[in-house]
Chains A and B, each alone.
Chain A
Amino acid sequence: GESVGLHLPTLSVQEGDNSIINCAYSNSASDYFIWYKQESGKGPQFIIDIRSNMDKRQGQRVTVLLNKTVKHLSLQIAATQPGDSAVYFCAETGAQKLVFGQGTRLTINP
């Protein structure tokens, strides 16, 4: 069945370093992927999305990479800041609904 999972449940990085959060998905028919950021006590906030006809998309300080061959998605955050501390979720489109991964908690060390 469909599943979206993350390789690491927690990630700790030094302030100013780049962060890479990974996600594996199992449905090869999925054609749309989204990254969300969720801060404590709040709803998920849209960060960036990518469609399956692309392998890379860049936003402000963020880049999403899609490798359809190995069904892998990653989120790269450049120059990580304290405000980036949150839980990050990937999601894929499948069967008229989004399927969410478990999430990765990103913590920033000063």
Chain B
Amino acid sequence: DGGITQSPKYLFRKEGQNVTLSCEQNLNHDAMYWYRQDPGQGLRLIYYSQIVNDFQKGDIAEGYSVSREKKESFPLTVTSAQKNPTAFYLCASSITPPGTSHSNQPQHFGDGTRLSIL
């Protein structure tokens, strides 16, 4: 079955450590997204990528970095500069970026990675 796979499901970060969250999709989607969700809150956009080798900052990009070397993969690195990294991280993809006049498509989500601080 096609879908989005996030790993690991749970991750712990030590002080001063960078950690990388994996997101893989086999839906052949062009666009991929990373969101952060805090308890009882909605989703906030960290980074998004509309095409391979291109990505843009979202609303809360500070302390995070991404790469998009392959269409199916969009890893997120939580750097030591992110002072409050404890959250639920969600990856999503869509067949075309939202706002495209000829087609708006829903984003499909993975089941998230829960990051905590040791």
Residues of A within 8 A of B (CB): 31-32, 34, 36, 41-46, 49, 51, 89, 93-98, 100-103
A46 to B108, alpha carbons, bound, how many Å? 7
B104→A42 contact, CB < 8 A: no
- Check A98/B98 contact, CB under 8 A, given A44-B90, A93-B104, A103-B42: yes
From B42, B97, B104, B114, contact of A89 by CB (8 A): B42
Given contacts A42-B111, A43-B90, contact A96 B99 (CB under 8 A): yes
A-B contacts, 27 listed (Cβ < 8 Å): A31-B104, A32-B98, A43-B90, A43-B109, A43-B110, A44-B90, A44-B109, A45-B109, A46-B106, A46-B107, A49-B106, A51-B104, A89-B42, A93-B98, A93-B99, A93-B104, A94-B98, A96-B48, A96-B99, A97-B33, A97-B99, A98-B98, A98-B107, A100-B42, A100-B43, A101-B42, A103-B40
Q: Please name all residues of chain A whose beta carbon is closer than 8 Å to the beta carbon of B58 when the two chains form the complex.
A: 97
Known: A42-B112, A44-B43. A96 touches B106 (CB 8 A): no
